[in-house]
Amino acid sequence: MQQFVSKHWVNIVSFLLVLLVFNVPFYKYPIIPHSGDSMQSLDPSWQIMLNHALLHKYVWGKDIVYTYGPLGFLETRVSYGIPSYVFILFDLFVIVNLFIVFKSYINNASQKWLAVFLLFCLCIVYTMSGSTPWLLMFFIVYWMRRLYDHPNILNYVILVCCISLALFMKLNTGLISIFLFGALQVLMLLQKKIKLLNAGLYVGASAIIILLLAWLLNVSLYGYFIAAAEIVKGYVGVMSIESDKYKVVEMKINILAVVLMMLYGWIVINAVRHKKYEHIFFAGVACIFIVLLRKQAISRNDWGHYLEFFSSSSLILFTGVFTVDAGLQKWLLRFTGMYILLLMLFDARMRTPLVLAKSKIEPKLSYISGIAQYNNKPEEKNSRKIPLNVLLQLKGHTVDVFPWDAACAIENKLTYTPRPMFQSIGAFTEKLQLVNENHLYTKPSDYLLYEYATIDGRYAFFDDCRANIFIANNYKVADSFLMGDRQVLLLKRNGTNPVATKFDTIKTESYAISDKVFIQGSDFIKIKISENNKGRLNTFLNRAQEIKLVMTLDDGSAKTYKTSAEMLQAGMFVAAFIDGNTSFTAYINKGIKRKITSLSLSCHTDYFVKNIEVIRYNISK
């Protein structure tokens, strides 16, 4: 026994470390609150919608527009419609990869027990649940180095598997992975690690695999890429939260990012000195990992996204991408230890040993029980129950839901026919709004469940504004009901042929950014505001500057709402002021009373071009 342990201790320790770090529930079922703020249904709705789209064979990039792909359920762990063996196979893939990476890290270390201790610390600080795309990126970087050192078919296959999973799970990390894979092939060609013919064959085979998977998973790659680019472009402009609540946390993240960048800067200098040019490449890969992780954290600056940085940033230090002599490796190990210590000191959770132990044990017990209970998992249909008289009206008819409560339609077994960007708060740009408007015109639902709601202090009617205008012109209020303590409107389509909305241009004007723009009888206004060089640099390094839209009403009062350059350019309905279900109903019935008299922008003008362009429209049918 002692001889066996002595011979296989690295395997044993690596396996135990994998058991420690593997910390995900076997499945989740979104908790859908029956009452309270409608925002509580936001995350459960998009999570269950991903599964719904996969089950009903929606085409990603056409029928559904989102940055999460058809394998998004592997990140959310939502079990709706997914066989249990799919989760088991994916988890085995993750476990095997973790084992290989951990074993490799220990074997390549000059001080093996120090490496074991550092891996143990990683297992303590890393939270696997909710960060699967970054875990896949971690595997991708590791296998890129393995492929560089040993360009064989097995390493190619595993790397392409990781890239494919990342691509169809969440497009952001998947696209970056494809770019890095292509850059790696160029590096290997330049350093004569691979012949041109072989590189072409491997890249071609990888492309065929991705195209085949796209076909099997109903993904229009072009539409998937373009739509996701639009979402990301709009997201960074408006999704930050206006608060100094996490100012200290963000400062800590910036310090950690700078510390890592200093390490990779030192590695680049050392690589140039010793002509190890592959180290420059892999230092660049590591920097991209950290920059993207930080950008995600500060773009939606809430605790969940900050936690993802604290949890995942140290992963990149364990990929083993730098082959150095024993002396330099000793310094790398010490730096890794210093970084993890700093990470623990900065961790705002400040968990006690007992709480920490429970956080590692309870998910494993939950995982085991989840396997046993999978076929008897709960549903949430009683948490979003639609009154019987409304269900009878909807029977046999197609239904869409505004602004986002897909879970309501799915749990009540409605014939759900959603817009491609199924959450109106995500229609950040004009292109995304046009996609939804075109869907409503060509494939209109018979009924809509409509609730006037938004997030982050925005003006709800400007979320998916063109769709809102189309609805007001083509639907009538058939009923209303309470869902929990919130009123929901039941809208019914007028007739069989929808009426397209026409936007007739009146004129284009130029204003100073600080000027007040009077409505002057316009129905719809677009404002084109552009960042200057300082603003673009600030957006790249941090996040977009906040823009507030100030509306002056006909009674002299002023209302201030959060907006963005993309949303302003998409256009705003200004013929009436709508602030809830009651005024929306009045607008549909042509009885709206409150008017908007002028608009103005409130922002840090130093970050924007001094003049704005205003385009006025009248709306007709």
Q: What is the pLDDT of residue 299?
A: 85
349 pLDDT more than 60: no
pLDDT of residue 2: 67
Q: pLDDT tens digits, residue range 277-335? A: 889 999 999 999 999 999 988 888 777 788 889 889 999 999 987 766 666 778 888 89
Helix/strand/coil for 89: helix
Over 70: is that where the pLDDT of 191 sits? yes
Return the structure tokens found at 67.
């940055």
Range 112-128 average pLDDT: 88
pLDDT of residue 318: 92
User: What percent of the chain lies above the pLDDT cut of 90?
Assistant: 60
Domain ranges of the chain: 2-29+65-364, 381-493, 502-620
Q: Express each pLDDT in 213-249 by its tens digit.
A: 999 999 999 999 999 889 989 988 888 877 777 788 8
Average pLDDT over residues 367-382: 73
Question: For residue 351, what pLDDT is reported?
Answer: 60
Helix (H) or strand (E) holding 339, with range, is: helix 326-346
Tell me the pLDDT tens digit for each residue of 513-526: 999 999 998 999 99
The pLDDT value recorded for residue 610 is 94
How far apart CA 148 and CA 16 sit, in angstroms, is: 29
Please give the helix or strand (H or E) that residue 598 lies within, else none. strand 596-603
Of the candidate CATH numbers 2.120.10, 2.60.120, 3.40.50, 1.10.4160, the domain formed by 502-620 belongs to: 2.60.120
First to last CA, the chain: 84
| 553 DSSP 8-state letter | E
Where are the alpha helices (H) located in 443-572, listed in sequence order? 465-474, 533-541, 565-570
CA distance 519 to 33: 40
Q: What is the pLDDT of residues 467-504, one digit of tens each?
A: 999 999 999 999 998 877 788 999 999 987 888 999 99
Q: Which amino acid is at 600?
A: S
Report the distance separating Cα 272 and Cα 124, nearest Å.
Answer: 35
Q: Which residue has the tokens 């790696």?
A: 184
pLDDT at 382 (0 to 100): 59
Q: What is the mean pLDDT of the chain?
A: 89
Angstrom distance (rounded) from CA 458 to CA 560: 9
Q: Which of 71-75, 142-146, 198-202, 445-449 has the lowest mean pLDDT?
A: 198-202
